[in-house]
Structure 1
Amino acid sequence: MEYRITKVQNSAADCFVCGVENESGLKARFYELEDGSLGALVTFQPIHQSYPGRVHGGAITALLDEAIGRAVQIPEPDSWGVTGDLEIKFKQPVPYGVPLRLHCRLIQNKRLLFSGEGRLYLPDGTLAAVATARYRKLALSQIAEFSPDGRDWSPHPREDDPETLDLPPWA
């Protein structure tokens, strides 16, 4: 299903998952979609390897954790979450060096807590991993020591940011 991108989410310069300047990072790109869900694009590199030719499960877990946690910022742009628990199911081996797509949505959003689901897809649309997680909402000042403006937290737009994402429909 083709989803129109409504916004490029912010990235931090040095974050392992989204950091545009972190040489060891995933450099994932996160997008808010027209239906209120979150999409992402990522291409893992050999530095993220576990077994030869395969991405380490910890890198996949970090990606899904961050993506689900970001989904709350679509309805609540100033909300930040800290992971309470995360369950992940690995369905297929994940190769590096190929573009992968991720789709996340909120399951529940309350005053202090939220939960969500994230799915990582291989280039052919095969489900590679699925995660569910719960988060506690906290003020940014309780989570991090940075200003949410400028280098530490901005969209970092790129010329190759797409206008739409093609993602399998939620089953």
Structure 2
Amino acid sequence: MPDSLTQKIPQALADTHRQCFACGECNQGGLNLHFEIGEDGSASGVWQPSDVFRSYPDRIHGGVIATLMDSAIVHALFAREIAGLTAELTIRYLCRINLHDPVHVRGWVEGSRRRIYQCRAEVHQAGVLAVRATAKFMAMPAGS
């Protein structure tokens, strides 16, 4: 499988996401995430937070972490040439996420039934599993 997302997904699908808050290259106010697609089809990325994403002192806002995980799963779906919408996202925060350390995020697809995809994601920081999520994503109908 190719190493980069842009080599793996159709250009038309990539073009629909250029303004995305999480990963859009044309969204100056967004997170500016970049993902690599692994041989197993998972999407992985490293993100360096800044003070604008702070909640409590030295901590990243939990909603931002949820966005990272959601986006990683979306990119794992993109690797399968599927545009997906979040139907359900259940997150378990296991420990604090420090504001000044890089965050490693990975999302993958575990299976599907009809147009619903069962997915998972994890966030690691300093080699420690900090957050995990299970999710269901719905494939967008063609032409949406």
- Settle same-fold status: TM greater than 0.5: yes
User: What is the aligned partner in structure 2 of residue 136 from structure 1?
Assistant: 138
More helix per residue:
2
2:72 touches 2:108 (CA, 8 Å); kept in 1? Answer: no
Moved more, 34-43 or 84-93: 34-43
Moved more, 12-21 or 95-104: 12-21
User: What is the aligned partner in structure 1 of residue 35 from structure 2?
Assistant: 30
Unaligned runs of 5+ residues in structure 1 are 143-171
- Which protein has greater RCO, CA pairs closer than 8 Å, 6+ apart? 1
| Helix, strand or coil at the partner of 1:64 | helix
Query: Matched residue pairs, number?
Result: 136
2:4 pairs with 1:7: yes
User: What is the aligned partner in structure 2 of residue 120 from structure 1?
Assistant: 123
Residue 68 of structure 1 aligns with an amino acid whose one-letter code is I
CA distance, structure 2, for counterparts of residue 125 and residue 140 of structure 1: 40
User: What is the aligned partner in structure 1 of residue 101 from structure 2?
Assistant: 98
| Helix, strand or coil at the partner of 1:105 | strand
Relative distance call for 1:135 and 1:105 in structure 2 (3 A) is same
State which of 79, 84, 92 in structure 2 corresponds to 1:81: 84
CA distance, structure 2, for counterparts of residue 140 and residue 129 of structure 1: 33
CA distance, structure 2, for counterparts of residue 7 and residue 85 of structure 1: 27
Please give the root-mean-square deviation of Cα atoms over the aligned residues, in Å.
2.1
Unaligned runs of 5+ residues in structure 2 are 7-13
Paired-residue identity, %: 27
Relative distance call for 1:31 and 1:127 in structure 2 (3 A) is same
CA distance, structure 1, for counterparts of residue 143 and residue 57 of structure 2: 41
User: What is the aligned partner in structure 1 of residue 70 from structure 2?
Assistant: 65
Q: What is the CA deviation profile of residues 99-145 of structure 1, one whole-angstrom value per residue up to 9, with x for unaligned ones?
A: 221122211123411011000010x2101111111011013642xxx
| Helix, strand or coil at the partner of 1:54 | coil
1:18 touches 1:28 (CA, 8 Å); kept in 2? Answer: yes
